[in-house]
Amino acid sequence: MLLPWIHPHLAQSVNPNKGRQLQASQRIQRGEVLLVDPPYAIIPISGVDTTGPLLCSNPQCNSPVQQTTGTRCPNRCNTDVIWCNDTCRDADNPRHTFECTWLSKYAASLRSKWGEYNFGMLWLIVRTLSRRHAEQQQQQHDSNDNDNNNGNHLHLPPDSPLSHFKSGWPAIDSLCGTIDTWSHAQVREWTVLVKKYLSSSSLPHTLSNTDVLALICKEEANSFGLYPRETGVFPPPSPAVDRGEQFGAAVYPRASIANHSCCPNIIHKPDKHSRMVFTAGRDIAPGEECCISYFDMTQYTTLRDRRERLQSLFRFKCGCSRCSGQEVEEVEAEGAVPDGSEVQWDAFPGFE
């Protein structure tokens, strides 16, 4: 089983502007691993080289699999479904059964009619629902499972740092992101997609269309792209090294609590089982927020580019020290005085 791990000094709190956040409860040193989080749901993304490795579909594995050696679905439901071997396929059977008919029926037409992005987005939702389904089946089988500990199904000792974080479906259900975050046009498109492809008549789940739409809104605000190299090295090295070609997209129950900063103190990169690994990029003081970068810092360098990126993909304006500092510099370069520091001489008629 792929286990999560959390640094004993990494805590969760709530920021009035940003919602949940990760925070250092005590000093953390540069290079220390802060979090290792297995994905709840993951899909492979085949890049320019369509013959390159895919990811094992078994959620307890997720390792890269060469297309020439892996085990395929006997129903040939989708070219991107593969397992390392028969053992991984058999272990994944309860979950894959959920998605197999859906993929056979819709994958090809979805890709051609709605494009690769929408297909991937819907498949990630289907994999989320399939994981939830497998989790529910497992709970029913486990007659000794009287576990009602805040969604933690890992049977943790109460002093474990992990016991402060939700896991499984309850963690996914509590992700941020609502319909109001997105434009009407976007919500209309997703509503059509839900009705056509994700309703309980297309898949054996028990959620209403409204619940599935809400899940899309959450997943779009919280999913990670998976890249072979690190994201968030700050300041970026010179010459710049980008993070490479995307090979997957995933939803993480705990890593998704990290907010964004354009001068992040956490570097993130998936390990060989696609678990998201957070490492301190510098020393972090007690009480400091622990942030990642939501994009490749080598590609979005100017304030304007970063703002546009965050607004279009995540719908917020970053107020980190780097953005605020650059905003002040830009205002000063234009000859104006930054907001709040301008002296209104007319307000003091005695001082002419």
Ligand X SMILES: C[S@@+](CC[C@H](N)C(=O)[O-])C[C@H]1O[C@@H](n2cnc3c(N)ncnc32)[C@H](O)[C@@H]1O
To ligand X, the closest distance from the beta carbon of 272 in angstroms equals: 24
Given the rule CB under 6 A, which of 43-51, 159-167, 254-262, 282-290 is the region that contacts ligand X? 254-262
Residue 221 interacting with ligand X (CB under 6 A): yes
Give the C-alpha separation, 22 to 247, whole Å: 26
The reply on whether position 316 binds ligand X by CB under 6 A is: yes
Q: Which is nearer to ligand X, 156 or 176 (CB)?
A: 176
CB burial string 121-132: b at 16+ within 10 A, e below: bbbbbbbbbbbb
Q: Which residue is nearest to ligand X (CB)?
A: 19
Least CB distance from residue 201 to ligand X, whole Å? 31
DSSP secondary structure letter of residue 254: T
Q: Which is nearer to ligand X, 221 or 297 (CB)?
A: 221
Q: Which amino acid is at 37?
A: D
Q: What one-letter code names the amino acid at 175? A: L
Query: At closest approach, how far in Å is the CB of 128 from ligand X?
Result: 15
Which tokens is 177 given? 């992101």
Binding positions for ligand X, 25-84, rule CB under 6 A? none
Sheet bearing 33-37, strands edge to edge:
5-6, 33-37, 276-280, 266-270
Choose, by CB under 6 A, the member of 71, 128, 152, 259 that binds ligand X.
Answer: 259
E strands along 76-122, which residues? 82-83
Q: Which residue of 7, 260, 275, 306 would you call a contact of ligand X, by CB under 6 A?
A: 260
Q: Which stretch binds ligand X (CB under 6 A): 62-70, 190-198, 256-264, 337-345?
A: 256-264
Q: Does 176 bind ligand X (CB under 6 A)?
A: yes
What string marks each residue from 327 to 346 as x (binds ligand X by CB under 6 A) or -?
Answer: --------------------
Cα 40 from Cα 45, distance rounded (Å)? 16
Q: What is the nearest approach in angstroms of ligand X to the Cβ of residue 40?
A: 14
Give the β-pairing of 64-65 and 54-55.
antiparallel
**Cα 38 to Cα 61: distance, rounded to the nearest angstrom:** 10
Helix (H) or strand (E) holding 276: strand 276-280
Interaction of residue 318 with ligand X, rule CB under 6 A: yes
Evaluated on CA atoms 204, 206, 209, 212, the torsion sign reads negative
Q: Please report how close the Cβ of residue 264 comes to ligand X at its closest, in angstroms.
A: 10
18 binds ligand X (CB under 6 A): yes
Query: What residues make contact with ligand X under the rule CB under 6 A?
Result: 17-21, 176, 221-222, 256-257, 259-261, 314, 316, 318-319
